[in-house]
Amino acid sequence: MKTFLSIFNAFPSVIQAVQAVEAAVPVPGAGKQKLDLILGATATAWQISEVGRQLSKQDTLTAVQAMANLTVAALNSAGVFKKSAPVSSK
């Protein structure tokens, strides 16, 4: 029951995460990329929390880098970031 309550009590945070990603990535048809972003950020937070100690500066930077990499990958996959064509020097 304790596990159930822990997960159920996280529901408002899940709603907020979905709303934040929807606001940041208003791209139709990118549901999988958006879900992957939320799940990746959740996995990163869980991995860091498993350290079981106060977060160090390096742990924090590692977590932020992992989440930034996930975000960029998801936004690239969703087509939010458009890759520009090389500029010709002609």
Residue 86 within a domain: no
Domain count, the chain: 1
Q: Does residue 83 contact residue 68 with C-beta atoms inside 8 Å?
A: no
* Residue 13 included in any domain: yes
Q: Is residue 31 part of a domain?
A: yes
How far, in Å, CA of 25 to CA of 42, rounded? 18
Q: pTM for this one? A: 0.70
Per-10-residue mean pLDDT of the chain, 90 residues long, equals 85 90 87 89 82 75 86 83 64
- The domain in which residue 72 lies consists of 2-78
Q: What is the pLDDT of residue 90?
A: 59
The number of angstroms, rounded, from the C-alpha of 39 to the middle of its chain's C-alpha atoms is: 7
The label of the residue with tokens 């972003």 reads: 37
Within a domain: residue 88? no
Output the CA angle 20-23-25, nearest 5 degrees. 105
